[in-house]
Structure 1
């Protein structure tokens, strides 16, 4: 693996390599950090946003049932728009639906289309992968990234597994960003202000491949 020659950076580089290896190996079932989460029924403790509660959720009330049905109908409307996206893109109807709020279930897909991610990816083939690999080789703050990833939405069902799939994806995004934008903060290779926003890029369905 390619290393910077500055001897002052080598210990950090080696430490970074160990951290990256842990993310690449993935989650280990039964890890001490997860004990407690793997012993419960997530469906009974996670609210509609996926946040784990300390006590079992109460029975669903009639009002919540009504709200979920409404959300389901709105989600179906968005799915129909996705199926014929050129027709709805840049229309008043689309603007109105965005203004009302994008349903959580399709938020990632919606932003992917609104930001024209597929076009950007086609114009930059392999860019994300290249930046990710560059970040793994040269980033000097992998340890800082690990701390931020491990503290991101700790009670969310997507992030409760240490070195789980979502934590892996978030780490990859931040490592790639540290290489893509090395001057995000003077003297640093990665903007700490980015990590809570990055956490919602991957889980919600915006592909980073």
Structure 2
């Protein structure tokens, strides 16, 4: 009798696991399909106070939607543009002889002052050796995306994170739009690339920031390099193992 109960219990658990796997597979397919179809009715994320109209917000030079600013002193704006122009010329000079400047005190100081948007993507790719990593793994990104379509068990969490990431930025505002799909693809690919970490809290904002300046595949390999070479993977894995919820600020301090 006891053996029969044990058999029935094992069979029931197996059946429940199979049903759960089928439900997850169905949901995974549905979510992938939504991103592939794109924004059918041009759905936009609400970015502001419910008491304010969307026309009360404008985009700043980085693409973030903000309340309409008050008039500024034109002299301050002119001074800022001149400063940024000088800074850009200095960065172009450094990039022409990158191996000489990288790691130097001057390079670090200029990083702290801010990398001009015109060269930011190029600088990030050089600093993270993105092209080298990508050349060492040809075709890997596309393979990981296909594997995620069949096996990723964090699709629901990733889709939810994508929806809430930089809701006030122009390129991520359109639900299931091009950049939201790119962010989704980067995150599911990374979940397959590093299953020990998978998707962790805050990764969507890091990946989205990379996507503002890099292509989809370059952003993926930049994320890989950040996680592998700057302690990100170990920090996230440790936090998950201890059941802790980590913030982006905590990760950045690492």
Same fold (TM over 0.5): yes
**Aligned pair partner of 2:172 in 142, 159, 162:** 159
Residues 1:49 and 2:62 aligned together: yes
Unaligned runs of 5+ in 2: 1-16, 219-254
**Relative contact order (alpha carbons < 8 A, sep ≥ 6): 1 or 2 greater?**
1
**Aligned pair partner of 2:202 in 193, 203, 207:** 193
1:51 Cα deviation from its structure 2 partner: 1.6
For residue 29 of structure 2, what is the aligned residue in structure 1? 17
For residue 68 of structure 1, what is the aligned residue in structure 2? 81
**Aligned pair partner of 1:116 in 129, 134, 150:** 129
CA–CA distance in 2 between the matches of 1:119 and 1:22?
Answer: 33
CA–CA distance in 2 between the matches of 1:26 and 1:65?
Answer: 41
Unaligned runs of 5+ in 1: none
Indicate if the aligned counterparts of 2:183 and 2:208 stay in contact, CA closer than 8 A.
yes
For residue 186 of structure 2, what is the aligned residue in structure 1? 173
Further displaced range: 88-97 or 172-181: 88-97
**Which residues in structure 2 correspond to 1:98-109 (within 5 Å)?**
98-109=111-122
Indicate if the aligned counterparts of 1:16 and 1:143 stay in contact, CA closer than 8 A.
yes
Indicate if the aligned counterparts of 1:26 and 1:163 stay in contact, CA closer than 8 A.
yes
CA–CA distance in 2 between the matches of 1:92 and 1:122?
Answer: 30
User: Between Structure 1 and Structure 2, whose CA radius of gyration is higher?
Assistant: 2
Relative to structure 1, the CA distance from residue 36 to residue 51 in structure 2 (aligned partners, 3 Å threshold; closer, same or farther) is closer
Relative to structure 1, the CA distance from residue 20 to residue 76 in structure 2 (aligned partners, 3 Å threshold; closer, same or farther) is farther
Indicate if the aligned counterparts of 2:45 and 2:167 stay in contact, CA closer than 8 A.
no
Relative to structure 1, the CA distance from residue 207 to residue 172 in structure 2 (aligned partners, 3 Å threshold; closer, same or farther) is closer
Cα deviation 1:35-86 (Å, max 9, x = unaligned): 899x9789x71123322124x3334432133223322332233234334434
1:32 Cα deviation from its structure 2 partner: 4.3
- Size of the aligned set, in residue pairs, is 197
Per the normalisation by structure 2, the TM-score is 0.67
